[in-house]
């Protein structure tokens, strides 16, 4: 399973990428706005677009894998223009569009031009089918948000993987809105190719209390044995 980091924080992504385990990055307008506000020390953000392009450029320079940059326009022609402009930031940009009629039309147009598109805000198998037919490089089902409203996000992943297995779509399932280690492991057991992880979930994957206590005991025994030798 490839791991993407779901963050627009350049420093954080740089640190996590040192692990050698990070294969890409996803951002969305909320994450970018939060990051610009944090960086400028303000509560709200006014940004003409320059800040977004700069941050996406910085993220793209950190790794070879895809960095998803989302459009904010909602009508086709503006979305298409925005997508083209985002795609020019770096060769590893994947343009992210919402799963709407305009979004899928834009996905189709950009994909025909060889631009990678990540179709986001996917909440059903029917939507995932349309995204694949539109030529998407990635489809992002939001499992945590489905769980939040009492649905079963992981079941959606299972359904989409099963559905895609009958065809030769190029679209890869990018498990998104991940809230727990359980989400990651269950998606991996189903064979989902990619999950995008908030930094705290990525870090949590390393952890087990028995690893910590075991290491503490090993080191303590080692220190004691050295003292008795000396
Ligand atoms: C993915 O591309 C999205 O940015 C993200 O996974 C959304 O997660 P959230 O539901 O925690 O906001």
Q: Is 140's C-beta closer than 6 angstroms to any atom of ligand 1? A: yes
pLDDT of residue 36: 86
CA 45 to ligand 1 center in whole angstroms: 20
Measure the CA–CA gap between 121 and 143, rounded to whole angstroms. Answer: 10
pLDDT of residue 50: 64
Cβ-in-10-Å burial (0-12, 13-18, 19+) of 181 comes to middle
* Nearest ligand 1 atom, CA 145: 10
CA 227 to ligand 1 center in whole angstroms: 51
Q: Is 70's C-beta closer than 6 angstroms to any atom of ligand 1? A: no
Cα distances (angstroms) measured from residue 179 to each of 14, 145, 184, 198: 22, 9, 9, 8
pLDDT of residue 172: 98
pLDDT of residue 55: 93
Q: What is the mean pLDDT of each run of 10 residues along the chain (230 residues)?
A: 97 98 97 88 54 93 98 98 98 98 98 98 98 98 98 98 98 98 98 98 98 98 84
Mutation test of ligand 1: which of 6, 69, 157 has the most ligand atoms closer than 8 Å to its C-beta?
6
2-229 CATH choice from 3.20.20.70, 3.30.56.10, 3.40.50.720, 3.30.450.40: 3.20.20.70
pLDDT of residue 47: 53
Cα distances (angstroms) measured from residue 211 to each of 5, 129, 146, 185, 219: 24, 42, 33, 18, 12
CA 226 to ligand 1 center in whole angstroms: 50
Q: Is 118's C-beta closer than 6 angstroms to any atom of ligand 1? A: no
Which residues neighbour 208 within 8 Å (Cβ) at sequence distance 6 or greater? Answer: none
pLDDT of residue 42: 55
pTM for the model stands at 0.94
How crowded is residue 18: how many other Cβ atoms within 10 Å of its Cβ?
9
């Amino acid at each position: 399973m490839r791991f993407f980091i779901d963050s627009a924080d350049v420093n954080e992504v740089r640190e996590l990428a040192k692990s050698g385990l990070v294969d890409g990055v996803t951002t969305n307008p909320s994450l970018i706005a939060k990051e610009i506000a944090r960086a400028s020390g303000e509560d709200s953000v006014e940004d003409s677009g320059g800040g977004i392009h700069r941050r996406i450029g910085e993220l793209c320079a950190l790794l070879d894998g895809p960095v998803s940059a989302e459009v904010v326009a909602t009508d086709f022609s503006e979305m298409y223009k925005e997508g083209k402009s985002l795609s020019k930031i770096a060769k590893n940009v994947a343009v992210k569009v919402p799963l709407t009629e305009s979004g899928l039309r834009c996905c189709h147009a950009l994909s025909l031009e060889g631009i990678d598109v990540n179709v986001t805000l996917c909440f059903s198998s029917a939507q995932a089918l349309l995204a694949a037919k539109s030529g998407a490089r990635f489809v992002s089902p939001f499992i945590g948000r489905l769980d939040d409203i009492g649905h079963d996000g992981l079941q959606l992943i299972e359904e989409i993987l099963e559905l895609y297995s009958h065809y030769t779509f190029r679209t890869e399932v990018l498990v998104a809105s991940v809230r727990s280690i359980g989400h990651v492991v269950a998606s991996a057991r189903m064979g989902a190719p990619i999950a995008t992880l908030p930094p705290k979930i990525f870090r949590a994957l390393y952890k087990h209390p028995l690893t910590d206590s075991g290491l503490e005991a090993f080191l303590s025994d080692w220190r004691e044995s050295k003292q008795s030798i000396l």
